[in-house]
Amino acid sequence: MHTMGVIGGGNMARAIIEGAIRQEVLEPESIIVAEINESRLSEMAALGCAVTRHAGDVVDAEQIMLAIKPQVMAEVAKTIAPMPESRPVISIMAGRHSSTIRAALGEHARIVRVMPNTPCQIGAGMSVIALGEGAQPGDEALAEKLFSAIGRCLTMDESHMHAVTAVSGSGPAYLFLFAEAMEQAADQLGLPHRDGRTLVAQTLLGAARLLNESGQTADQLRQSVTSPGGTTAAAIEVMFEGELPQIVAEALLAARQRGEELDVG
C-alpha cells in the first residue's frame, strides 16, 4: 500500500512531491500519482513515483491529496467515492469548503484543507492548514511535514480560509503586478530593460527578507527609509495620493468575496 495517493500532477503537486522527497518526508516509491496529462505523468514517473491515469487507483493509499481544479471535483468524485475506509484527504483546492468535499467523497473522508502559494515551487511558499469536516486530531501531521518542506506553514481555523486565499494564496500575483509596474517605470526612466528587471527583483527579495527577519513592522521599515523631503518621500506621497492602501484593501476584499462565491457555487 502506498503512503500517499495524489490526484492531479500539476505544478503545485510536483512542488509538494519534490519537497517531500528532498526532505525525506516520503520515499518516491511510497507515492502514487493519478494524472491524465502524459507529460506530467512522465515527470512524476521520473521522480520515482508510481503513476496511473485513473484516479480510482490511488484510493487505497493511506492518505489522499486532491491537487485538482475545483471545476473537476465532481467528475473526480465519481471515480473515487465513496472512500472505502476512513482516511485523511488533504485538499489544496481553492474555494471548496471541507463539508462540500466530504459530501462528494463520503463519510469516511477526513478532510484537511491547505492553501499553499506558488513560491512553494522554489521552497519559499506560505501554506495554511485547516482541519476540516470529519478530520481528527493528528490528521494534519503529514500535511505539516509536507508543506514545511516547501516553505512555512501555519494552522488556522477553516473559517479564515477565504481571507487566507486573498492574502497569501493570491498574494504573489499582487507583487508580480507591482514588479511589472516598477519594471515599466524603470524603462521609462531610461534604464536598460534587463538591468531594470534585476533591480526590481532583487529589491523585492531583499525587502521581503528584511521584513521577515528584522523583527520590525512594515510601517517601521518604510519610515526608516523615508527621509522627510527626500526622494523616497516624494514617491510615497504620490502613492498615498493615489490611495494605494485603499486600493490594496479593496482588492483583497474582492478576492475574499470571490472565494465565497465559488464556495457557494
Q: What is the mean pLDDT of the chain?
A: 95
CA-atom Rg of the chain in angstroms: 21
If one compares 129 and 121, the residue with the highest pLDDT of the two is 129
Residue 48 and residue 152 share a domain: yes
Distance CA 98, CA 112 (A): 8
Residue 147 and residue 30 share a domain: yes
pLDDT tens profile 131-174: 999 999 889 888 999 999 999 999 999 999 999 999 999 999 99
Distance CA 153, CA 42 (A): 29
Measure Cα distances from 117 to 60, 172, 233 in Å: 28, 7, 32
Measure Cα distances from 220 to 75, 210, 226 in Å: 50, 11, 10
What cell was used for 141?
501531521
The pLDDT of residue 92 is: 95
Residue 218 and residue 149 share a domain: no
Quote the domain boundaries for residue 220. Answer: 171-264
Per-residue pLDDT at 83 exceeds 90: no
CB atoms within 10 A of CB 41: 18
Whole-structure pTM over 0.85, yes or no?
A: yes
Relative orientation angle of helices 231-241 and 244-264, to the nearest 10 degrees? 50
Residue 203 and residue 115 share a domain: no
The pLDDT of residue 77 is: 94
Residue 146 and residue 19 share a domain: yes
Report the CATH number that the domain containing residue 122 is assigned in CATH. Answer: 3.40.50.720
The pLDDT of residue 1 is: 77
Per-residue pLDDT at 265 exceeds 60: no
In a domain, 166, yes or no: no
Residue 149 and residue 22 share a domain: yes
Residue 78 and residue 27 share a domain: yes
Per-residue pLDDT at 197 exceeds 90: yes
Residue that finishes a domain, picked among 116, 131, 161: 161
Residue that finishes a domain, picked among 161, 194, 228: 161
Residue 19 and residue 70 share a domain: yes
Is residue 54 within 8 A of residue 81, CB to CB? The reply is: no
Residue 175 and residue 85 share a domain: no
Is residue 111 within 8 A of residue 139, CB to CB? The reply is: no
Looking only at the bridges linking them, the beta strands covering 109-115 and 125-131 are antiparallel
Per-residue pLDDT at 12 exceeds 70: yes
CB atoms within 10 A of CB 164: 25
Phi and psi dihedrals of 251, rounded to 5?
A: -65, -45
How many whole angstroms from its chain centre is CA 71? 17
Please give the average per-residue pLDDT across 9-36, as a whole number: 94
Residue 205 and residue 94 share a domain: no
Closest CA to 2 of 44, 45, 31: 31
| pLDDT confidence tier of residue 5, bands split at 50, 70 and 90 | very high
What cell was used for 76?
473526480
Residue 120 and residue 220 share a domain: no
Domain count for the chain: 2
The pLDDT of residue 262 is: 82
Residue that finishes a domain, picked among 110, 127, 161: 161
Kindly list the strands in the beta sheet with 109-115, ordered across the sheet, starting from the edge strand earlier in the chain.
Answer: 50-52, 31-34, 4-7, 63-66, 87-91, 109-115, 125-131, 151-155
Residue 235 and residue 157 share a domain: no
